[in-house]
Chains A and B, each alone.
Chain A
């Protein structure tokens, strides 16, 4: 079972519906909007992948397969930036 959580080294601020994220290191800040920002906020506490997909599917009224693929790609991208941790 895969669980996702924010890497505590990642710095971020919320500005309205947007999140500005500074991953560890010297890399550029990343702006998260819409579904990306909501996903980040759902990572407030560690969350199982299946639960995250189900929640986002409900929120956006989208089919689970589409959400699963999109979320996976997004989170792997954040993992590459050291902004999230998969366990």
Chain B
């Protein structure tokens, strides 16, 4: 029951979502289960708003608990916004261009009130040619990179980015691409900067992805990021499709060029499955009944299928690389990575790692 209710809470505020979610306040155990899930799924803002809109009856104690939960997430978001402003200033001082991704940007640009969208980290996108420099600036701000890179050249040519850790243990995700491997190699990275838009935070102008690339990124993240994506990530897709300022034709052209139609289709499917909402408009219509090609399905499976090891992503990525030269460099960098790199990803260094890659290739072709 809670799973269904969580989906309904996550869909609160979307067009057509006005009916009461329940007639009576939940029992103690059902409420506790809901609150735990809401917290984990970063839905405190939607729960709070659904209660405020009288769609979900609550007892006085439950109201206080929902208020406190929301306040805690709001305080966390403010701390992250402050951190973002500080880092943006430090990067700008060094002439490094930065685009704010995911929760922070989406909360401020896609929702009528940023308090609806809870987020727990900061995600920044850099130009490939400035990626190393950006890391140096962030190291100067006290960050460290716990997982060793596969190599500088790998970072710049093939990597998605890195997770850094601050002195107090908080994480900062730095990106040079929106997704690692496969679909990521079809993305025109320059377009992410060329079509960027601005939003204002704390008296400062910051860059975020434009409406079309932001919606595409939400789909990449929800469709490929995790087999069981967060409801908040799925809600972002529904929110942007329903209320976004994107140009559907332009977005479909980008999706075609970036070979991402299957990713969009999966993103829309997740909205139906998890939020119980049927998305409307030209975008969902254009992808209604979309059947992924074998190559697309293999690529998607390498992220969210049962065989989603790093090596499977490597194998599935090869058709997405432009030239044999790129494929050779990619295979070289990933087939014999430094042992520090494979250990940081929980793999066995050396031969065992290569064997795993071949096994994944074999499984891929059996399907």
Q: Are B75 and A20 in contact (CB-based, < 8 A)?
A: yes
Q: Are B67 and A15 in contact (CB-based, < 8 A)?
A: yes
> How far, in Å, is B170 (CB) from chain A's closest CB?
14
Cβ contact of A20, chosen from B71, B200, B204, cutoff 8 A: B71
Minimum-distance CB pairs A-B, first 4? A8-B203, A13-B74, A22-B78, A9-B203
Q: Are B115 and A14 in contact (CB-based, < 8 A)?
A: yes
Closest chain A residue, CB of each to CB of B113: A14
**Interface residue total, chain B, C-beta cutoff 8 A:** 20
Interface string of A13-36 (1 = CB under 8 A from B): 111101010101010010100000
User: Are A11 and B74 also in contact (CB < 8 A) when A16-B67, A22-B81 are?
Assistant: no
Q: Are B48 and A15 in contact (CB-based, < 8 A)?
A: yes
Q: Are A15 and B74 in contact (CB-based, < 8 A)?
A: yes
Interface string of B189-229 (1 = CB under 8 A from A): 00000000000111110000000000000000000000000
Cβ contact of B201, chosen from A11, A26, A31, cutoff 8 A: A11
Q: Are A11 and B78 in contact (CB-based, < 8 A)?
A: yes
A-B contact pairs, 27 of them (CB 8 A): A7-B203, A9-B202, A9-B203, A9-B204, A10-B202, A11-B78, A11-B81, A11-B82, A12-B78, A13-B114, A15-B48, A15-B71, A15-B74, A16-B48, A18-B67, A18-B71, A20-B71, A20-B74, A20-B78, A22-B78, A22-B79, A22-B82, A24-B202, A26-B82, A29-B75, A29-B78, A31-B71
Query: A14-B115, A20-B74, A31-B71 known; 15 other A-B pairs, CB under 8 Å?
Result: A8-B203, A9-B203, A9-B204, A10-B202, A11-B81, A12-B78, A13-B74, A14-B113, A16-B52, A16-B67, A18-B71, A20-B71, A22-B81, A24-B202, A29-B78
User: Are A11 and B202 also in contact (CB < 8 A) when A16-B52, A22-B79 are?
Assistant: yes
| C-alpha spacing A11/B48, complex, angstroms | 20
Closest chain A residue, CB of each to CB of B68: A15
Residues from chain A with a CB closer than 8 A to the CB of B52 are 16
Interface of B: prevailing SS? helix
Confirm or deny: B175 has a beta carbon within 8 angstroms of a beta carbon on chain A: no
Residues from chain B with a CB closer than 8 A to the CB of A24 are 202
> How far, in Å, is B250 (CB) from chain A's closest CB?
32
Residues 11 to 65 of chain A near chain B (Cβ within 8 Å): 11-16, 18, 20, 22, 24, 26, 29, 31
Confirm or deny: B70 has a beta carbon within 8 angstroms of a beta carbon on chain A: yes
**Total CB contacts across the A-B interface at under 8 A:** 47
| C-alpha spacing A14/B52, complex, angstroms | 12
Closest chain A residue, CB of each to CB of B78: A22
> How far, in Å, is A12 (CB) from chain B's closest CB?
7
Closest chain A residue, CB of each to CB of B77: A13
Residues from chain A with a CB closer than 8 A to the CB of B202 are 8-11, 24
| C-alpha spacing A15/B71, complex, angstroms | 6
> How far, in Å, is A24 (CB) from chain B's closest CB?
7
| C-alpha spacing A31/B67, complex, angstroms | 13
> How far, in Å, is A22 (CB) from chain B's closest CB?
4
> How far, in Å, is B82 (CB) from chain A's closest CB?
6
Residues from chain B with a CB closer than 8 A to the CB of A20 are 71, 74-75, 78
Residues from chain A with a CB closer than 8 A to the CB of B70 are 15-16
Q: Name the residue in A14, A20, A24 with the highest tally of chain B Cβ atoms < 10 Å from its Cβ.
A: A20
Closest chain B residue, CB of each to CB of A25: B82
| C-alpha spacing A22/B71, complex, angstroms | 13
Residues from chain B with a CB closer than 8 A to the CB of A8 are 200, 202-203
| C-alpha spacing A11/B84, complex, angstroms | 12
Residues from chain B with a CB closer than 8 A to the CB of A7 are 203
| C-alpha spacing A24/B82, complex, angstroms | 8
Residues from chain B with a CB closer than 8 A to the CB of A11 are 78, 81-82, 201-202
> How far, in Å, is B111 (CB) from chain A's closest CB?
12
Residues from chain B with a CB closer than 8 A to the CB of A15 are 48, 67, 70-71, 74, 115
| C-alpha spacing A8/B204, complex, angstroms | 8
Closest chain B residue, CB of each to CB of A28: B75
